[in-house]
Amino acid sequence: MAAMTTGTPSRADANRRRILDVALAELLRDPDASMDQIARAAGVVRRTVYGHFPSREALIGTLVDGAVEAVAAAHAAGREGAADPAQAVAGSVLAVWEIADRYRILVALAQRSVTMQGIRDRLAPVRATCTELLQRGLDDGVFVSALPAPALAYVHEQMLFGVMEAVNDGLLTPEEAGRSAAVTVLTAAGVPASRATELVAELDD
């Protein structure tokens, strides 16, 4: 009779998960961390790391995939229950920033190996949802823009990357970045600055 499975992760799966967790922490601490450093920090030999990830680029690509999944989940949670498009946009940006701050350095690293086009491709489902939300706001008169919704969604995405880079370069503190990003995205969609600031403050209390 076949043995029953218990759902317990295999040792290989556990090693892979640990390598990813440690790699993210090491890369955030030292963006130039080598595979050797990551292996030592994870408590495994280098061969084990390469057994799961054939190159540093592959490891970073896998981390980016995980980051995109987390961003998509946060984006959905942030807009949940919001009938007003402006509130939904602000809530999604604030929710995304709560987890995206952890991945700021990873985005900069990914640009070296995954390329920005690769990141944009991974974010396509999130961008599609943003486009629908922005289109609804434009149709309702909540948003006003010379750009069509798909282009506005693209601009919003690039603005968030820009805020991440501003934090990475020390031009903006992580503590103020979330609110600043949400207000900036709303004003770019034509929401008056005073209303955008008030709305974001209400949601971020």
The per-residue pLDDT of the chain, averaged, comes to 86
Give per-residue burial for 159-194: e unless 16+ CB within 10 Å, then b: ebbebbebbeeeebeeeebbbbbbbbbbebbbbeee
- State whether the Cα torsion 18-58-158-173 is positive or negative: positive
Helix (H) or strand (E) holding 204: none
pLDDT in tens, 117-126: 677 788 889 9
Give, in order, the Cα–Cα distances in Å from 146 to each of 3, 157, 166.
63, 17, 26
Q: What is the helix (H) or strand (E) element at residue 29, kind and residue range?
A: helix 11-29
Q: How confident is residue 71, by pLDDT bands cut at 50, 70 and 90?
A: confident
- Check: CB of residue 52 under 8 Å from CB of residue 106: no
- Cα separation, 180 vs 204, whole angstroms: 11
- Quickly tell me which residue has 């601009």 as its tokens: 155
Please give the average per-residue pLDDT across 87-99, as a whole number: 91
Q: How confident is the model at residue 40 (pLDDT cuts 50, 70, 90)?
A: very high
Q: Quick check: 2 pLDDT over 60?
A: no
pLDDT at 144: 96
Distances (CA, A) of 70 to 65, 97, 101: 9, 11, 12
pLDDT number for residue 84:
93
Q: Write the DSSP symbol of residue 80.
A: T
Beta carbons within 8 Å of 65's beta carbon, 6+ residues apart: 122
Using the predicted structure, report yes or no on whether residue 110 has a pLDDT greater than 70: no
